[in-house]
Structures are given as C-alpha cells and as structure tokens.
Amino acid sequence: MSTNPLINEPVEDLSSRLGAMTDDEVFATMTELEKASDAAGDDAAEEILARIALTESEIERRYPGELLAPYRNWKQRQPLL
C-alpha cells in the first residue's frame, strides 16, 4: 500500500483540506495525484481517480467556466514537472 498521505487519508479529510489550500497547493496536489495514478496498479487506480475528480472540482469551483485551464497553465510554468 502507498505511503502517500494524499492516497491514504480519508477522502473527507482531503476534501476539507482542499478548501483551505492555496491555488499552488491545490495544483501541486493534482500533480501528485496524477503521478500516483500513473504509478498505481489496478487496485488503487479507482481510489486515486476519485481523489483527482475531487481536486478537479475544487479547481473548477475556484475558476468557474475555465475548466482545468488554470491548472494546465500553472503546470507549464513549473520547470521541473
């Protein structure tokens, strides 16, 4: 099982933490979840995808009508991602 707290913490905790995060923290969370999804086996993929959907919803709540464009723009500005 993964030791990544984003994967192991209860979904309710992640949900409440997302609301208190800065935009950069939310975007970094999305990046970590995407990496975890790529590395996960079939057993964990569904759980990770649910967390990605939750994070996507938070981004869309902060940027109505922009879908994930703010995240994609942020990701392009990150030199090491």
Give dist(CA 59, CA 23) in Å, integer. 8
pLDDT at 1: 46
Does 4 map to a domain? no
Does 15 map to a domain? yes
pLDDT at 44: 78
pLDDT at 21: 96
Domain count of the fold of the chain: 1
Q: What is the DSSP letter of 22?
A: -
Sign of the four-CA dihedral 24, 34, 9, 62: positive
pLDDT at 81: 59
Give dist(CA 50, CA 73) in Å, integer. 23
Does 49 map to a domain? yes
Does 5 map to a domain? no
Does 2 map to a domain? no
Q: Looking at the whole model, is its pTM more than 0.75? A: yes
Q: What is the DSSP letter of 81?
A: -
Query: From first to last of its 81 residues, what are the pLDDT tens digits of the chain?
Result: 456 788 888 888 999 999 999 999 999 999 999 999 988 877 778 889 999 999 999 999 999 999 999 999 999 998 775
Does 69 map to a domain? yes
Domain of residue 57, residue span? 11-77
* CA 12 to each of CA 8, 62, 71: distance values in angstroms, whole numbers, following the listed order: 11, 19, 22
Does 3 map to a domain? no
